[in-house]
Every structure is written in C-alpha cells, then in structure tokens.
Amino acid sequence: MKLLISIADTKEIPAALQGGADIIDVKNPAEGALGANFPHVIRQAVAATPPPIPVSAAIGDVPNLPGMVSLAALGAATCGVHYVKAGLYGVRTANDAVKLLRAVCQAVRAHDAGIRIIATAYADARHFNALPPLELPQVAADAGVDGCLLDTAGKGTGSLLTNLTESQLLSFVSQCRANQLLSALAGSLQAEDIDRIRPTGTDIVGFRTAACRDGHRQGIIDPQRVKRLKALVDPDKSPSSALWTAASQPAGVPDR
C-alpha cells in the first residue's frame, strides 16, 4: 500500500515528506471532504514536492454539472498534478456519474493524457442520496477513468469502517482490480484501522485527521504521526530521508 497524506497548505509538505508520504494530496478541508484548494496553492505544492513524489489535487464534492466540473478538472490539470480527484457528491445515478466523469476525462486528457483521473464515491452516501459507493468501480470502468477512491463526506457520519464492512471493502478493491483500476481508501481513518484495511489489498490509503497534530482535521501535519502511519502501512520501509526513489511511485504514474 502507498500512503497518501492530504495537505491544506504548502507549509505542511515538509512534514508529510519527512514522515514518509508516498503521495502528496492537495485539498481544502474548509470546503468539504474533497474541498478544492486554490490554483496558486496547487501550483506551489507541485513546485515544492520533489519529482519522485506524485501530487494529487481534489476538485471538490462536486454537483451534477458536467460542464462546470470538467472546467474545474482542467484547471487542476494545468497546475501540473499527477492525479485529479472528483467527488461524486451531487450525482445520484450511475448513468449521470458516467456522463460527468467522461466530461472530466475529455477535458483533462486533451491537456495531458498522462494525468490520472480518480473518481470518488462516499461510504456515507445514503445520508445525502448520492451514488451508492459500491457502484463506483463499474461506473469508473464505463467512464474510462484511472482509479476509484472511497471517502466519507460528512465527517460526523462515521468513518469508512463504520459505514462499510470489511467484506464490502474487499469486494470494492477486487472490482477495481478486475477492471484494471487503481483503488484507494480513506475517510476518517485512524492508525489502528490500518490492520483492517491492509487485507483488502488496496493500492493507496489516505489520511489527514490521523496525520494532524492532536488528531484535529483543521490542525497541521505532524511528521511523527505521518511516520507512525508509514510504519504501519508499509512495515518494510521506514523513511530514511525526505526523498524517495522513483521505485516508490505508484504503478502507472508518469515521472514528471
């Protein structure tokens, strides 16, 4: 598994790298689970992250407005990121989700075909009538995106593991693998949850709250907390420096 650490400000990048993050994820927690950060922050994050480490950017908990969302995705793509993540918050059906994601793919790939597009569904989708999370792998395959992420939208509606069973997560990851999609799991996860996540075989596991000082999502990234997460996610590797070799890149991520 690769360790993704979500940062809200470029000042948090050194702590994330010192702790051993494999992927730097740029988002704005003040605007939601996948809140979009400002273009200048994303560009600065790309510039501040050593080239072996890929950077992802969230474009928001998006409504069912393909034109607007594809424009946002293109904006993120022009900032030099490796991944663009779209949260299917306002999308209710699989057909609508496929249409929206195809629009995102068209916009992003016309700019840079090497950027990976990650579709995100929410484990707590039943609370706001969004796309059922276990439908995401088939939607992603039909839309032609590169990967799937499960997260939680309402941080007061429980974690990934309180909304979905471990067998459901295993099925999700298996469906992703069958469709040759990257899989990623996040959603208010804590360090002690890693032993329950590892058997799923997911490619990526993501954290913010558990990586922040005092465990507050609105806090700042703590390198020691990240280091602990890294040791649990990948016990065979301990961060010996802020830079990782190119061998630590996720499969399919182009060197940039």
Q: How far is 169 from 132, CA to CA, in rounded Å?
A: 13
pLDDT for residue 246: 34
What is the distance, to the nearest Å, from the Cα of residue 179 to the centroid of all Cα atoms in its chain? Answer: 18
Q: How far is 27 from 118, CA to CA, in rounded Å?
A: 14
pLDDT mean across residues, the chain: 91
**pLDDT confidence bin for 214, thresholds 50/70/90:** confident
Which tens digits make up the pLDDT trace of 228-248? 999 999 887 655 433 333 333
pLDDT for residue 237: 67
Query: In this structure, is residue 123 part of a structural domain?
Result: yes
pLDDT for residue 46: 98
Which of 78, 23, 83 is CA-nearest to residue 49? Answer: 23
pLDDT for residue 90: 97
Query: In this structure, is residue 15 part of a structural domain?
Result: yes
pLDDT for residue 235: 83
**pLDDT confidence bin for 253, thresholds 50/70/90:** very low
pLDDT for residue 15: 97
Which of 74, 54, 42, 77 is CA-nearest to residue 5? Answer: 54
Query: In this structure, is residue 251 part of a structural domain?
Result: no
pLDDT for residue 37: 98
Please compute the mean of the pLDDT values over residues 112-134 and round it to a whole number. 97
Query: In this structure, is residue 178 part of a structural domain?
Result: yes
Which tens digits make up the pLDDT trace of 5-16? 999 999 999 999
Query: In this structure, is residue 111 part of a structural domain?
Result: yes
Name the catalytic one among 2, 27, 227, 230: 27
Which tens digits make up the pLDDT trace of 36-57? 999 999 999 999 999 999 999 9
pLDDT for residue 238: 52
Please compute the mean of the pLDDT values over residues 76-94 and round it to a whole number. 98
Domain membership of residue 81 as a residue range? 2-237
CB atoms within 10 A of CB 112: 16
Which phi and psi (to 5°) does residue 92 adopt? -100, -35
Angle at 62 between CA 56 and CA 67, to 5 degrees: 100
Judged against a pLDDT cut of 80, whether residue 194 lies above it is answered with yes
Please compute the mean of the pLDDT values over residues 167-194 and round it to a whole number. 97
2 annotated active-site: no
Percent of the chain scored above 70 by pLDDT? Answer: 91
pLDDT for residue 173: 98
Judged against a pLDDT cut of 80, whether residue 157 lies above it is answered with no
Tokens of 187: 């959603």
pLDDT for residue 244: 35
Query: In this structure, is residue 113 part of a structural domain?
Result: yes
Q: How far is 181 from 168, CA to CA, in rounded Å?
A: 17
What sign results for the dihedral spanned by CA atoms 108, 63, 156, 145?
A: negative
27 annotated active-site: yes
Split into its structural domains, the chain has a count of 1
- Residue 192's CATH number: 3.20.20.380
Q: Cα dihedral angle (84, 152, 98, 54), rounded to 10 degrees?
A: 20
Name the catalytic one among 85, 99, 230, 237: 85
pTM comes to 0.90
Query: In this structure, is residue 247 part of a structural domain?
Result: no
More confident residue, 253 or 103: 103
Query: In this structure, is residue 93 part of a structural domain?
Result: yes
pLDDT for residue 155: 62
Judged against a pLDDT cut of 70, whether residue 179 lies above it is answered with yes
Please compute the mean of the pLDDT values over residues 218-224 and round it to a whole number. 91
pLDDT for residue 252: 39
Which phi and psi (to 5°) does residue 186 adopt? -155, -175
110 φψ region: left (φ > 0), alpha (ψ -120 to 50), beta (else): alpha
